[in-house]
Amino acid sequence: MEETIFSQIIRKEIPADIVYQDDLVTAFRDINPKAPTHILIIPNVLIPTVNDVKPEHEQTLGRLFTVAAKLAKEENVAEDGYRLMMNCNAHGRQEVYHIHMHLLGGKPLGPMLAE
């Protein structure tokens, strides 16, 4: 498994706007935001794609959701709503091979799929 830039963000070797970190997950603002709130929530352990998820990851991946709910409240997008998204491989247009949950909100979002 090859590390990505996200491993360096977790270790704080390169700058990122980290909004949350604990023993299992790290959350930081997307460098190229697609909505007023665009946060990436990632496991601290390297899991390249959803295809690599194993039963032992369940606690960590569950944490992605509890942190998403906490951050949505903090960002004041919880009531109006938001989108959680995870891309996998080429057809899913995954760019960074360290799984990440996108938290998008702060305006009415477009249709789920543009094409």
In the complex, the smallest distance separating the C-beta of residue 57 from ligand 5GP, rounded to whole angstroms, is: 18
Residue 83's CB is within 10 A of a number of other CB atoms, namely 14
Phi, psi of 25 (to 5 degrees): -140, 160
Q: Is 102 a catalytic residue?
A: no
CB 115 to ligand 5GP: min, Å: 15
Are 17 and 55 contacting, i.e. CB atoms less than 8 angstroms apart? no
User: Residue 91 CB, nearest distance to ligand 5GP (Å)?
Assistant: 12
Contact yes or no for 72/101 (Cβ under 8 A): no
Among 28, 61, 77, 101, binds ligand 5GP (CB under 6 A): 28
Which positions lie near ligand 5GP, rule CB under 6 A?
5, 16, 28, 30-32, 40, 87, 93-96
